[in-house]
Amino acid sequence: MTPAYLKSLKKESVVQSVINRLTDAMKSGELKPGDKIPTEPELAESLGIARSSVREAIKILTYLGVLESKRAEGTFVCSGYKESMIDPMVYGIILNKDSFENLMELREMTEAGMMRLAIVHHDEDQLEELRDILEEMKETLGSEDPVAAFFTVDEKFHDKIAEMGKNPMADKVNRVVRTLTHAVRYKTVSSMIEGGRGEELVDAHRSLLEAIRRSNEEELSDKVRDSYFVDELAAQNELAKQGA
């Protein structure tokens, strides 16, 4: 039986999707420390993508200290921490099932922090761009595949907030956290839209925009937490699966 992380990719950004598949497989235990991952040609064929995309994803995960290449042997899941520009605790977050709640708290901290930077550094043109993205987000609800379409625009929305903050180091940490929370965030979007609550998702993002526009830092933590909706339920389901 083909492992879930080797099923063919479809609608997400290809390189990011490979990263998500591999890190999700590590979190679930399909890939363990010391395991050898399939070769680039094998991954490309299984996932239905170009070998160059697989190579780029592996390069990024190697840079983060999650994978390591051994000449003439292949590429392996690291058996321990490796020094990198990102703190090695990232690797522990991926593999340590008990760290899930801590990861969600870290997500809230980083997203609220990025919004505080956006409040300080944004200009009116950027706010208008964020409004345009919000309209694009609303339009996805009527698309053929609203879950995948909404999630793509959601990433675009948060990338714009990070850009408004004008701090590349904070943006790098934020992107790592968003990568590690990919599965639970996608599940939240799916649950909300399939449950007929897509408009609530849009309204939550509108509240984030308004908090930036009004420069109201006191609202940030509450607005960020409110935007997670069923993440608590998703987290409970995740933890239940891990304990099965």
pLDDT digits (tens, 9 = 90+) for 129-154: 999 999 999 999 999 999 999 999 99
The structure tokens listed for 198 are: 């897509």
Distances in Å between the Cα of 141 and the Cα atoms of 35, 145, 160 are 40, 8, 20
Q: Is the pLDDT of residue 239 over 60?
A: no
CA atoms 204, 230, 93, 26: torsion sign = negative
Dihedral sign, Cα of residue 113, residue 202, residue 181, residue 225 = positive
Q: What is the mean pLDDT of the chain?
A: 83
Domains of the chain by start residue, with CATH = 4-77 (1.10.10.10), 96-243 (1.20.120.530)
Strand partners, 67: 77
Contact (Cβ atoms closer than 8 angstroms) between residue 21 and residue 44: no
pLDDT of residue 198 exceeding 70: yes
| Res. 236 pLDDT band, cuts 50 70 90 | very low
**pLDDT for the residue numbered 94:** 63
- Whole-model pTM: value is 0.63
Q: Token pair of 34, please?
A: 């010391």
Mean pLDDT value of segment 37-43:
94
Q: With cut-offs at 50, 70 and 90, classify the pLDDT of residue 160.
A: very high
pLDDT the model gives residue 22: 93
Instruction: Evaluate whether 163 touches 118 at the Cβ level (below 8 Å).
Output: no
- Note whether 225 and 109 are within 8 A (CB): no
Question: Cβ(23)–Cβ(94) under 8 Å?
Answer: yes
Indicate the pairing of strand 74-77 with strand 67-70: antiparallel
pLDDT at 243: 45
Are 178 and 194 spatial neighbours (Cβ–Cβ below 8 Å)?
Answer: no
**∠ at Cα 151 (149, 155), nearest 5°?**
120
DSSP 244: -
| CA 64 to chain CA centroid, nearest Å | 15
Q: Is 195 helix (H, G, I), strand (E, B) or coil?
A: coil
Q: Is the pLDDT of residue 106 over 90?
A: no
Q: Do 51 and 41 form a contact (C-beta atoms < 8 A)?
A: yes
| Confidence at residue 204, expressed as pLDDT on a 0 to 100 scale | 92
pLDDT at 16: 87
